[in-house]
Structure formats: structure tokens, C-alpha cells
Structure 1
Amino acid sequence: MRLGHILGTIVLLVLFSLTPGSSLAKNSSNYEALKRFSQVLHLIEQNYVQKKDRQELIKGAIQGMLQELDPHSSYIDLDEFKLMQEEFSGEFGGIGIHIGMKDKKLMVIAPIEDTPAYKAGLKAGDLILEINGESTQGITLTEAVNKIRGPKGEPVELTILHKDAQKPVKVKIIRDTIPIHSVKSKELEPGYLYLRIIDFKANTTKELKKEIQKYTTKQNLKGIILDLRNNPGGLLDQAVSVSDLFLSDGLIVYTQGRNKESRKEYFAHKQKDDVTCPLIVLINAGSASASEIVAGALKDQKRALLLGEKTFGKGSVQTIIPLSDGSAIKLTVALYYTPKGRSIQAEGVEPDLNIPFEPPRPKDTNNHAFREENLTKHLENPDKKNDKEKEKREKLKAKEMLEKDNQLRMALELVKTLPTIKALKTK
């Protein structure tokens, strides 16, 4: 028998054995899908109006495949991976903004405080319609980040549709070096400390502990207001360790993937530096991901009172998986759940007290005159006592913060009364 007849007989036997439920049938289906992809690739290479590099075509196919999964899965090349590392552990050039996709539209999740984006008036919920005159329709998150970032001193123009606005506006923003500091503090009244976490980076818990310790060495701590408003999230381990700082035991969060075996639980542990004073947490629609983990844990464990507005609802877990050529993919592999088993995804965390933010009245924002002392690098008066003047200025800043922020004012009044409320409950 000739070789051709032998091969033909083998092919016929294989075809007859391809029943719908067989592994051979599945392999055949996979082969057909790959064959179709190869055909399309060949047709583009041979017939497209411009010559295209095969590696770029395959990269585009991978990007499209991941983009179809969810807004947070994406392809990461080497340069983009470096940018991600810089964002979490160093400084980078940009405008200071965290963005996401909602209904295939590019949206501001939150501007980073004291950055060009924050000063330009960008807010959570704003839509970015154009970047430097180019439409953002169909753009990936990675592409948007690369277009917005750039060297310090160079401008980028965004076309923004503010939340509840009828017409978009063009906003020209000068890029700057975005600082890595993620924690700010301020004494609102003697014994009451305001702590703001801007986002969750590699050193967030360390910074938070430092600010608390710095205060407690000088003053007895009566209560804390933890501000997570417009905090877009960050590292999971930092969300867990920040929560652990205020909890001595119990579940903080758990993640659950497709398989039951993939469940991971994160618990609080008793520590010497645990913070036990009354606690109020401020949240809003710009609070996402890691900040929702903290808020959800402290709420479910009845450790803190949540005040403000419902959070963003970004409750998915992404992992970075390296590829053979040095690039990587960011893939959604699980969902976050609060200690009571509630998924954060697309639901968010509800505050205990729903208090909408009220913008300050015009008279509240214009009653502070601009003086010599407001100028950068102004000369200090040699006759004044610096410590007392500094203390006076800090008190004035705290007063101004409270005047302009109705949620913060309410939080301060509540944190004062929490011990009394707790005592009444135990009677």
C-alpha cells in the first residue's frame, strides 16, 4: 500500500472518531479557531493597504482579546511595566490622575491631591473625551495612560465632560513630577487627628504609622478621622496592613476566583501599635479598590463609622503574568469580598451615614486675602517666634478645612460623641 493511501486512511479514522463530546473534537475545534486566526493574519499581511509588522499585529490581537474581558485586564509591554513600578514605588512625570473605563468611556476615578490634575479641577466621575485633540473612543486604559503621562513641564490638553455638565471643556494641564507620599495629617482640634490616605503605595502603612506616632508623642489621641475620599486604591497588601492597624483580630477581606480552591483570606493580628481610639472613615464615589477593602473591613467589623457617599465599586483582583518575551498581561483573576461575604464589584460600600458633599459658598472661598506670606520662598520675619506662628498657621488651616468641608465637620462632631454612644449601648 502506498504512503498516500495510508495517510488517507488515518485521516478518515480520525474524522470518524470526532464525536461532539470527545477530546479529539475539542482539539479540532481549537485547531479551527487557531487556523481562522492564522488566515486573518495572513490576509492582513498580504492585502492591507500598508505593510504591517507581524509582531505588532499579534500584539494588537492580544490587546483586543484582553480588552473584551473587562476594563482592568490589559497587555503590558516592557516600558509600560516600568511605568507601573514607578507609580507604586517612585516618582513619575504626569498630571496626577487615576483613570478607569465605564461603559467603554474613559473616566476619572480620582485626581491625586495637590497634583496638576487636582489643581485643574478634575473630579471623580468626569469623562475624558479627548487627549491632545484625539478621541478616546475605543482607547485602552494603557494607551490613555501613555498619552497623558510625559516629561515634567510639557503640557497635555484634555477635553473633559464634568459630571452633570451639558458641554465639554478643554483643560490644558502642565505635567509635573508626581510625588510618592500617600499620607497627610492635620490636627483638627486638640486630641483629634485627621489622616488622609491619597492612594495605597508600597510605603503607605509605614507613612500612616509615622504620622500617628509623631502626633501621639506630643498629644493624647482621642479620635481619628480617616479620609479615603477620592482614593483610587493601589496595593492589596497595603489595604490589609492599614486595616490591621485599626483591628486586633478578625477577617479583613477575602478573594475568590473561578475555582473554590483559589479563595484567599486575610486576617487582622494583635500588634503593639494597634490604634484603638474612636474612628470615623470618610468615603465617596472616588473611593475605589484598596480603599473599599479598608472601608468594608472596618464597617463589617464594627470598628468604624462610615460617613459620606457610596464608593466606586471596583472589587476585582488583577495579577501580573509575565510572558516569554518579557512583556506581561494584567488579568482579572478574582473578586474582593468584605468580612460579611459581600462582593464590592459594581456595588461599592454603603456609608453608615449618607451625607452628600456640599461645595463651600462663594463667601467661604474668597474671604482669605493673598499676602506676602503666601508667596513661595518669602522671607521670614526675624522678630516673630516661629514655633508659635507655625502653630497659629496650622490651626488656621484646620479651621479653613472644616469651613469648606461639611462631611469633615460632621465627622469631627461624631468622633467626639462615639465614646458616649458606645457607653450608652453597653448599659
Structure 2
Amino acid sequence: MMKWTRITFAIVALTAVNLFLGFKLNLISAVEDSSAQKDDSYANIRLFTRVLETVRQGYVDGNKVTYQDLIYSALQGMLSSLDPHSQFMAPETFSDMRDSVQGEFGGVGIVISVRDNAIVIVSPMEDSPGSRAGLMPGDRIVKIDGKTTENMQLGDVVKKLRGNPGEKVSITVFHPKSKEMQEYDLTREIIKVDSVKDMNGKKEFPLTEDKIGYIRVTQFNDPTDKEFSTALDKLEKQGMQGLIIDLRNNPGGLLDKAVDICSAFIPAEQTVVSTEGRDGSNRQVYKSKGGKKRADYPVAVLINGGSASASEIVAGCLQDLKRAIVVGETSFGKGSVQSVLPNEDGSAIRLTTAKYYTPNRRVIHENGVTPDIIVPVTEQEERELILSRMPSFEENAPASPRKKPTDTQLERAKDVIRGIQIFANRANAHAPVAGSPSSPPPTANK
């Protein structure tokens, strides 16, 4: 009896194992089938075509369902579902984009992006309607002319903010730091910004009493590298012994200009930044260029939450290569590469194809650059500093000039330069004199 019980138990156990294995194999097969079905181009295109025809033939408002309207809408949804920066552009939108790059356009002077499904101001452009109104990096645009920006694509928001000079636009903004909602009525203007300025918003570039130079780069455009080089020449002729590069609220611009700026401070053929696509494909390395090299004076770079893209590349490069001390607040974190690919019908797609990496392989995108020395400021302090840079700051009271607010981040950067200078002077004072018993014999280069 015991023998048959054991045999019966063994048969039942074996049957259970077989059933379990069969279920598991069926489950794996089902998962594999589901995965294969997701990537089956023919089956999914057939599904798309079936739905397209159903909508085309059966939707109640026939004037809304031309094939082009439906296809364009589908492509817009496809691209926008990938990330905030990928976009399908209809011919009119693509043409507007090219005009804005090649020529002048009317706008309110703010650079925007998408973060956490919200339209966020990366940086207000200097002396623009947006900056004069007091808009700040990190502010969220929740309405434009009374219409919500929820589920609105980035390209559509840009289109609504741009327009003819003199036209007005109303935007409702949420300030995350103060938790306040505020409405602004802005008048569009032709936006023109000098990309390189001194501490006084001019191009004179005086030194401080400590022989410290200061250059503010507001954006990276065509003349930036030449203007930056000219500023360095002026400062070095005055005997500059330290430099502060201010990239705060710099939304970025042309990549090759960022490479040019870095090239002034590091040896030729050093990696400035690299880009890498999916699965390590499309890797491209941008290296420093030859040319005029500057003296090895200490450098500090100022950044904040409004520093993005090309300005993050400069800060990350000089930080990784130990050529500069980065001071301020963590940058915005816009480190992806978008390729614009035109189509035959005049439309185009903007597709994220790669991400930026610093020389030490740090990912900029969504991480930003973290300063070596963090110096936080309040929203009110930052707002006062931005307003103090406006040409109109002293125009309201010419008889009694207004006192500019203290720039705590800039003062900390000056302290950093002074500290390095003191350390270097002490090291030189204790260095052995050539020909003394403690110094090694001179050698000749061979």
C-alpha cells in the first residue's frame, strides 16, 4: 500500500511539474509573442491604416478629417510622446523656425523648455520684455492669452509667444519658489542681445583692484568667440591675474562657439564634449582647437538654474579638466542633441538623436552641472540682480544713482580667485632660487 501511495504521489508531482513548466513556457511564449507583435511593422501599420480609414469615413465633421490633417496630427503625437524636444513641424512651422534662426523675429525674450510636463522658463534674455517684467528662470507658464498651456506642445507655445513687434501677449506664470501666480502683459519686440559684456553691461572690461577680470556671456551666437577673444585681449593688456566667466542665465546657443571658448584655456586636441546616440552609435567627439593660448591664470565660472546647453558644456569641460572652479547653483540640465530632418512636402521632424557627455563622461541631460562651490540665492535676490542690469535701472533717478544689489555669487567667485592667488604667491615665495644648493641643476631641452 505504501509503495503504491509513493508511486501515485510521484505521478501527481511529476504531472504538477509538467503543468507548471507548460504554463511557464506558454507564459514566456506569450510575452515573446507580445514583444514581437509590438515591433511587427506590417501588423502595426495595418492597424494604423485601419483606424485612419475608419476616422476618415465615419467622423461626424468631415472637414476636419482630410488625410493630411490626420497624418500630421498622428505625427505630432508620435514625436511629442518621445521627449519634450522632439517635434513634428508642419511646413509653416518649419519655415518659421528657419526664419527665427536666420533673421530677426518679434518676441518677449524668454527661452523656454518642458520639465515635468510643464512649460518652464529656462532664462529671460537680457533687456527684453520678459526680463524687464521680472520673469525668472524656473517660472512656469500656465496660460497664454487666457488659454491653458496644459498638453500644449513646446513648438505651439513658442509660436504663440512670437509675433510682430508692438503686439501684446498676456501670460500667466506660476513662481515655484514663492508659490504665487501672476499675470503679465508683455509687448513683443525685436530681440537683439550682445553676447559678451563686462560687469557694467558694456564692452570696456575694466579690472578690479585685485587684477581680476570679468566677462559675462549671455548666449552663444556667431560673434561670441571673437567678442570673447577681444575681451580677453583687453583684460590681459591691463595685467589680469584672474578671470571670472559669468554664464548665469545663459540659455546656450551654438555648440562650436562653446568649443571655441574652452579652447582658449586648454591644450589643443583635448576633449571638450562628446555626443553619443542609441547603443553607443553616432559617437562624435569635439576637441579643443589650436590657436592663441592664454596665460595660466586662475579661472572661476559662474552658473545657475538658467545656465543651459552650451553654457553647461563650457562649465562641465573646464571643471572636468581642472581648469576652472565652478561657483553658483546647479545648471538647468539641457544636454540632448536634436537633429532637424526635412521632408519632401516642406515639413520636418526635430528628433533627439544623442546626448552630451563631459570629458569625464558625465551626462548633462536632466542632471545639470553641479558647482564646486554652491552659493544659493533667493528668488528676490536674483530678481533684483537681473533688474539692476537693465539700462533703465538708473534712468528713473539720475540725480541720486540707485545702489546696485550685492551679487553674493560673484563676490564668492572673487574670493575663490583671491584665495588661489594667495596660495600661488606663497608657493612662489618658498620656491628654491635657481643656482642655490637646494635647486636642481639646469637642463637643456633636446
The answer to whether the 8 Å contact 1:88/1:201 transfers is no
C-alpha separation in 2, matches of 1:177 and 1:284? 26
The answer to whether the 8 Å contact 2:136/2:383 transfers is no
Q: What letter is aligned with 2:377? A: F
- The verdict on how the C-alpha distance between 1:220 and 1:88 changes in structure 2, with shifts beyond 3 A counting, is farther
SS of 1:202 mapped into structure 2: coil
Counterparts in 2 of 1:4-23, with a 5 A limit? none
Please tell me whether residue 208 in structure 1 is matched to residue 221 in structure 2: no
C-alpha separation in 1, matches of 2:141 and 2:373? 31
Give the corresponding residue for 2:197: 184
Deviation at 1:221, TM superposition (A): 2.2
- The verdict on how the C-alpha distance between 1:340 and 1:423 changes in structure 2, with shifts beyond 3 A counting, is farther
Give the corresponding residue for 1:418: 420
C-alpha separation in 1, matches of 2:384 and 2:316? 37
Counterparts in 2 of 1:83-122, with a 5 A limit? 83-122=96-135
SS of 1:262 mapped into structure 2: coil
**1:120-177 Cα distance to aligned partner (Å, 9 max, x none):** 1111111100011111011111000000011111111001001223341111111111
Counterparts in 2 of 1:233-272, with a 5 A limit? 233-249=252-268, 250-272=270-292
Picking from 303, 314, 325, the partner of 1:305 is: 325
- The verdict on how the C-alpha distance between 1:75 and 1:362 changes in structure 2, with shifts beyond 3 A counting, is closer
Deviation at 1:323, TM superposition (A): 1.3
Please tell me whether residue 45 in structure 1 is matched to residue 65 in structure 2: no
Picking from 346, 349, 353, the partner of 1:333 is: 353
The answer to whether the 8 Å contact 1:89/1:201 transfers is no
Instruction: Using the TM superposition, name which of 38-47 and 295-304 deviates more.
Output: 38-47
Deviation at 1:318, TM superposition (A): 1.1
- The verdict on how the C-alpha distance between 1:313 and 1:171 changes in structure 2, with shifts beyond 3 A counting, is same
Give the corresponding residue for 2:26: none
Instruction: Using the TM superposition, name which of 336-345 and 70-79 deviates more.
Output: 70-79
**1:266-323 Cα distance to aligned partner (Å, 9 max, x none):** 1113422546432110011111111111100000011111000111111211111111
Give structure 1 stretches of 5+ with no counterpart. 1-19, 379-392
C-alpha separation in 1, matches of 2:58 and 2:78? 23
Q: Please tell me the root mean square deviation across aligned C-alpha atoms, in Å.
A: 3.4
Counterparts in 2 of 1:271-310, with a 5 A limit? 271-274=291-294, 276-310=296-330
Picking from 220, 223, 227, the partner of 2:239 is: 220
Counterparts in 2 of 1:31-42, with a 5 A limit? 31-42=42-53
Give the corresponding residue for 2:41: 30
Instruction: Using the TM superposition, name which of 238-247 and 26-35 deviates more.
Output: 26-35
C-alpha separation in 1, matches of 2:140 and 2:382? 25
What percent of counterpart residues are identical? 39
The answer to whether the 8 Å contact 2:253/2:310 transfers is yes
Q: What letter is aligned with 2:319? A: K
Q: What letter is aligned with 1:413? A: D
The answer to whether the 8 Å contact 1:245/1:275 transfers is no
C-alpha separation in 2, matches of 1:77 and 1:260? 31
The answer to whether the 8 Å contact 2:38/2:44 transfers is no
C-alpha separation in 2, matches of 1:240 and 1:26? 45
Instruction: Using the TM superposition, name which of 141-150 and 324-333 deviates more.
Output: 324-333
The answer to whether the 8 Å contact 2:334/2:365 transfers is yes
Deviation at 1:54, TM superposition (A): 1.9
Instruction: Using the TM superposition, name which of 90-99 and 35-44 deviates more.
Output: 35-44
Counterparts in 2 of 1:192-203, with a 5 A limit? 192-203=212-223
Instruction: Using the TM superposition, name which of 413-422 and 32-41 deviates more.
Output: 413-422
**1:171-229 Cα distance to aligned partner (Å, 9 max, x none):** 11111110043222233625433211112223221222233334445x22222211111
The answer to whether the 8 Å contact 1:230/1:284 transfers is yes
The answer to whether the 8 Å contact 2:125/2:193 transfers is no
Give the corresponding residue for 2:168: 155
Please tell me whether residue 406 in structure 1 is matched to residue 420 in structure 2: no
SS of 1:170 mapped into structure 2: strand
What is the aligned length?
A: 383
The answer to whether the 8 Å contact 2:250/2:311 transfers is yes
Give the corresponding residue for 2:6: none
The answer to whether the 8 Å contact 1:252/1:339 transfers is yes
The answer to whether the 8 Å contact 2:385/2:407 transfers is no
C-alpha separation in 2, matches of 1:164 and 1:278? 34
The answer to whether the 8 Å contact 2:259/2:286 transfers is yes
SS of 1:122 mapped into structure 2: coil
C-alpha separation in 1, matches of 2:41 and 2:77? 19
- The verdict on how the C-alpha distance between 1:406 and 1:89 changes in structure 2, with shifts beyond 3 A counting, is farther
Instruction: Using the TM superposition, name which of 91-100 and 261-270 deviates more.
Output: 261-270
Give the corresponding residue for 1:67: 80
Give the corresponding residue for 2:365: 345
Counterparts in 2 of 1:309-320, with a 5 A limit? 309-320=329-340
The answer to whether the 8 Å contact 2:339/2:353 transfers is yes
C-alpha separation in 1, matches of 2:370 and 2:385? 30
C-alpha separation in 2, matches of 1:119 and 1:276? 38
- The verdict on how the C-alpha distance between 1:39 and 1:363 changes in structure 2, with shifts beyond 3 A counting, is closer
Q: What letter is aligned with 2:145? A: N
C-alpha separation in 2, matches of 1:305 and 1:340? 16
Instruction: Using the TM superposition, name which of 413-422 and 321-330 deviates more.
Output: 413-422
Q: What letter is aligned with 1:374? A: E
Instruction: Using the TM superposition, name which of 87-96 and 317-326 deviates more.
Output: 87-96
Q: What letter is aligned with 1:240? A: V
**1:401-422 Cα distance to aligned partner (Å, 9 max, x none):** 5x43111122123223323334
Q: What letter is aligned with 1:38? A: T
Counterparts in 2 of 1:158-173, with a 5 A limit? 158-173=171-186
Counterparts in 2 of 1:122-141, with a 5 A limit? 122-141=135-154
Largest Rg, 1 or 2 = 2
- The verdict on how the C-alpha distance between 1:78 and 1:246 changes in structure 2, with shifts beyond 3 A counting, is farther
Deviation at 1:425, TM superposition (A): 7.0
